[in-house]
Amino acid sequence: MNSKTRIALIAVGAILLLTVFVLNRADSDTWILSFDPADKTPYGSYVLAQMLQAEVDSTGFVTIEGSLQDSLNLDEIPQNSNYVFVGKAFFADSAEIDHLIKFVEEGGQAYIISNRVPRQLLELFLDPYEDYEPYTEYEVDGEITIIPYEYEYIERHQSDMIQAEIFSDTTYSRDALLAQSTFKYVVNSKFRTHSWAYFDAILPTDLAEDVRSGYFQGDYMNFFEGHLGKGSFTFHSNPEIFANYYLLEKDNQKYQQQVFEKLGNGNIYWDVVNHQFQSLGSDMPAGTTQGALVFILSQPALKYAWYLLLLGAMLYLLLGARRAQNALRVINPNENTSIEYSTAIAELYLQKNDHRRIGLLEIQLFKSFLRERYGLSIHRDDEQNQKILDQLALKSNIDSEHVKRLFTAFKNCRVEFKVSDENLAQLHHDLNHFYTNCK
C-alpha cells in the first residue's frame, strides 16, 4: 500500500467518524445569543420568560409582534403594565421611543436589557463626563477643520468574567448592596473572553439620590433606573447574563429578581420585534428576512452538513492539492518590535489625552496584582481602612505611608473628571515603586 492510498483511507475514516459524531450530537445545544423567549438553548430567554409569566396570569404575558403603538395601546392596556426588551440591540425608531416614553409617563414600567440603546433614551437620564468635548479639530495646510461628534454612552470591557453588584443607591457602600453575582462567559462549555458593555456616563445628582444602580468590577455601570412621570425605565447593558445558562443558578436568580423588583402588577409585554433593524420603506415584519448562511446554521441537519462540506474541502486542500516537491522554507530573521509597539501605544494614549481612563486601568491592574501575589481583594470601600492598608504594608514590606498615599491617589483619580499630567505621572511613579520594592 503506497502512501497516497494510506492517506486517502485515513481521510475517509476521519470523515466517517465525524459523521457519526455529528449524528450523535444532532440535538446538542447551540451557543448563539438569540434571546428568544421560546428558545431553550443556553443563550435563549426561555427561563426568564417563564419566571416573568409566573408573576401574571395566563393571559397577562403578551408577545409583541407588531409596532409598539399598536401593541401598547394606552387606552386599552391595564394600568401598571410592563414593557420588556431583552436583546443585543434595541432597534426602535423615534416614533416608537416617543410612544414608549408616554407609556412610562402614564405609570408603565419599561425594562430595556440591551448593550445597544438609542441615544434618545439615554440622554434623558445620563450626563457625559465633564471633560467631554463635542468636537475635535485638526490643521491641514494651515486650515483648521472642525469635526463634531456625538458622545458615546456605551463602551466595552474585555474579560471572561465579571462580578456584578446592585445597590439601593449610588454610594457603593456594602450597606446598600442588594445583590451580587459572578458571571463567566461560556461558549461550548469553555470560558471565553467577552466584550461586556457598560454605560460610560454619570447619573445627574438630582437623579442619583433615590435610584438603584449596578456595576461590575466595581467601576463599570451596567444597571440603573430612571423615573419618568408616574413610571420608570430600567436599563441593563448585559443581556447575556439573563440567558437560560445563567438563570439556572440560584444566586443569579436573586440578581435577576432585583432587576425586576419593581415589576408592575399589570400585563407584561415582551418585545420580539425590535431585535432587528428595519429599513425605511420596508413592509416586511422583523425576522422575516435572513441570510442563507443564517438559515443554514439555524437548522441542525443543514448546519452539520455545512461543517462536513467545509471539512472535506479542508482535507482536499491539505492532502489532495499539496505540491509533489516540498517547498523551500524561508527563514526570516527575528525582529525586535517591542520599542515600535510601545511607541505606538504611547502615541495613541497621548492623542486621546484620557488620563483618567489610563489611571483607572492601572488601578485595576494593581488590584489584580494584589489578589494574585498576596491573596488580598480590596474593594473600593476598603481602600481607606487603615487595618487593611497596614496588612498590605506588612505583606509587601512597603512603608505604610506610601501605601496610604497610593490609595488616596486612587480615590482622587476616580472623583476627578480630568486627571492632570502631573497626577498621572505621580500615580505611575508610586505604583512602579511598589512593584519594584515589594517582596
Encode pLDDT of 290-302 as tens digits. 567 777 776 778 8
Quick one: pLDDT band at residue 208, thresholds 50, 70, 90?
A: low
Residue 283 has pLDDT above 60, yes or no: no
Q: Is residue 331 part of a domain?
A: no
Q: Are strands 231-236 and 220-228 parallel, antiparallel or unpaired?
A: antiparallel
Which CA distances in Å does 215 have to 59, 88, 118?
35, 19, 20
Which region, left, alpha or beta, applies to residue 107 given φ > 0 means left and ψ of -120 to 50 means alpha? left
Residues 250, 310, single domain; the answer is no
Residues 183, 56, single domain; the answer is yes
Q: Can you give the pLDDT at residue 89?
A: 93
Residues 76, 147, single domain; the answer is yes
Residues 233, 312, single domain; the answer is no
Give the chain's domain count: 3
Quick one: pLDDT band at residue 209, thresholds 50, 70, 90?
A: low
When mean pLDDT is compared across 16-25, 32-41, 404-413, the lowest value belongs to: 16-25
Residue 111 has pLDDT above 90, yes or no: yes
Residues 316, 382, single domain; the answer is no
- Spatial CB neighbours of 402, under 8 Å, sequence gap ≥ 6: 393, 430, 433, 434
Q: Can you give the pLDDT at residue 429?
A: 86
Quick one: pLDDT band at residue 26, thresholds 50, 70, 90?
A: very low
Q: What percentage of the chain has pLDDT greater than the value 70? A: 77
Q: Can you give the pLDDT at residue 52?
A: 95
Would you call 16 helix, strand, or coil by DSSP?
helix
Give 146-198 pLDDT, tens digit per residue: 666 678 899 999 999 999 999 987 666 778 899 999 999 998 888 999 999 99
Residue 27 has pLDDT above 50, yes or no: no
Amino acid at 89: A
For residue 347, what are the domain limits?
341-437
Quick one: pLDDT band at residue 211, thresholds 50, 70, 90?
A: confident
Residues 207, 232, single domain; the answer is yes
Q: Can you give the pLDDT at residue 282?
A: 37
DSSP string, 34-93: ---TT--STTS-HHHHHHHHTTS-TTSEEEE-S-HHHHT-TTTSPTT-EEEEESS-----
Query: In whole angstroms, what is the distance from residue 241 CA to residue 182 CA?
Result: 10
Residues 203, 251, single domain; the answer is yes
- Spatial CB neighbours of 386, under 8 Å, sequence gap ≥ 6: 404
Residue 334 has pLDDT above 80, yes or no: no
Query: In whole angstroms, what is the distance from residue 264 CA to residue 52 CA?
Result: 11
- Spatial CB neighbours of 272, under 8 Å, sequence gap ≥ 6: 36, 37, 63, 64, 65, 286, 287
Q: Can you give the pLDDT at residue 195?
A: 95
Q: Widest CA span of the chain, in angstroms? A: 83
Over range 392-412, report the average pLDDT.
86
Q: Which of 137-141, 358-362, 411-415, 430-434 has the highest mean pLDDT?
A: 430-434
Residue 328 has pLDDT above 80, yes or no: no
Q: Which of 188-202, 299-313, 346-360 has the highest mean pLDDT?
A: 188-202
Give 220-268 pLDDT, tens digit per residue: 999 999 999 999 999 999 999 999 999 999 989 999 999 999 999 999 9
Residues 214, 351, single domain; the answer is no
Residues 213, 82, single domain; the answer is yes
**CATH number of the domain where residue 82 is located:** 3.40.50
Q: Can you give the pLDDT at residue 325?
A: 65
Q: Can you give the pLDDT at residue 286?
A: 36
Are 124 and 104 in contact, with CB atoms under 8 Å apart?
no
Across the chain, mean pLDDT equals 82
CA 55 to chain centre: 28
Give 36-90 pLDDT, tens digit per residue: 999 999 999 999 999 999 988 778 999 998 889 999 999 999 999 999 999 999 9
Output the pTM of the full model: 0.59
Looking at per-residue pLDDT, the higher value among 133 and 372 belongs to 372
Residues 16, 52, single domain; the answer is no
Residue 287 has pLDDT above 50, yes or no: no
Would you call 360 helix, strand, or coil by DSSP?
helix
Over range 328-342, report the average pLDDT.
67
Q: Is residue 430 part of a domain?
A: yes
Q: Is residue 312 part of a domain?
A: yes
Query: In whole angstroms, what is the distance from residue 66 CA to residue 72 CA?
Result: 10
E strands of 27-79, at which residues? 61-64
Q: Can you give the pLDDT at residue 236?
A: 98
Q: Is residue 349 part of a domain?
A: yes
Q: Is residue 280 part of a domain?
A: no
Over range 389-413, report the average pLDDT.
86
Residues 128, 174, single domain; the answer is yes
Place of cell 438569540: 34
Q: Is residue 327 part of a domain?
A: no
Q: Is residue 122 part of a domain?
A: yes
Give the H or E element holding residue 423: helix 421-437
Query: In whole angstroms, what is the distance from residue 113 CA to residue 134 CA?
Result: 27
Are 51 and 256 in contact, with CB atoms under 8 Å apart?
yes
Q: Is residue 329 part of a domain?
A: no
Residues 61, 164, single domain; the answer is yes
Place of cell 481602600: 383
Quick one: pLDDT band at residue 16, thresholds 50, 70, 90?
A: low
Query: In whole angstroms, what is the distance from residue 265 CA to residue 364 CA?
Result: 42
